[in-house]
Amino acid sequence: MADQDRGEAQPRRIGRRAFRARMEAYLGEARQGRSFAVTSHGRVIAEIHPPSIPEPPRRRPGALKGRIRLLGGAAGDERA
């Protein structure tokens, strides 16, 4: 019902067996923004949709290489 309030189309309905057989493909489509209603005997048993919270950016090891300098005399620096 919330989808109707926002003017979005109803999610595509797919059977439980079809979802199970092609789960990876349906999850890939969900990553691209599509929504699905999984049914069993004509009744909706689950909804698959993209997350409402955006995914945090992935870490890139080495991205700050050469940009960080350690200053001498910092707290905890006990070189004698």
Domain annotation for the chain: domains and CATH numbers = 11-48 (3.40.1620)
Q: 14, exposed or middle or buried, with CB in 10 Å at 0-12, 13-18, 19+? A: middle
| pLDDT number for residue 79 | 55
Helix or strand or coil: residue 17? helix
| pLDDT number for residue 42 | 93
CB atoms within 10 A of CB 19: 20
Which DSSP state fits 1? -
| pLDDT number for residue 39 | 96
| pLDDT number for residue 64 | 82
CA distances from 33 to 19, 38, 46 (A): 17, 16, 17
Give mean pLDDT in consecutive 10-residue pieces for the chain, a chain of 80 residues: 52 94 94 93 94 80 83 61
| pLDDT number for residue 78 | 57
| pLDDT number for residue 77 | 54
Amino acid letter, 29: E
pTM exceeding the 0.85 threshold for the entire prediction: no
